[in-house]
Amino acid sequence: MLMVKTYLDRSPIHGLGVFAAEFIPKGTKIWRYVEGYDRCYTPKQFAKLPKQAREYLKDYAYRVDGEIIFTVDNDHYINHSDKPNTYLHNGYAIAARNIRKGQEITNDYREFDPELCAAFLKTKK
């Protein structure tokens, strides 16, 4: 669940992106998983989903500790950057530096699943 005010807009990185609707100071917790709000699938549950659902989740979900996490808010539109302005720590995405109002919020997808992300990032080049 996003814990800061954001909005979607066209991204210079790829398609839509998530942008800060207000100044976000370095060290601010930006996102965390909220059970009952966000959705977590085991590999077995994921395999039982219809093909269309699996294809959608491959683009918009994260793999963390072997499970597939789908966020129901705009978090799944956060784009990859080799120099992201967030990092993961103890289950939170945290601002790695000050993020200006109107600046795109980015992750390094390799923090989630290095093998899966390496294949994904090759297709984006």
Residue with tokens 């917790």, as numbered in its chain: 29
Task: Name the DSSP class of 103.
Answer: P
Per-residue pLDDT of the chain (125 residues; tens, 9 = 90+): 999 999 999 999 999 999 999 999 999 999 998 888 989 899 999 999 999 999 988 888 877 778 888 888 998 899 999 999 999 888 889 999 999 999 999 998 877 765 554 444 454 44
In the CATH scheme, what is the code of domain 6-124? Answer: 2.170.270.10
For the chain, the structural domain boundaries read 6-124
Rounded Cα distance between 123 and 125, Å, is 6
pTM, to two decimals: 0.80
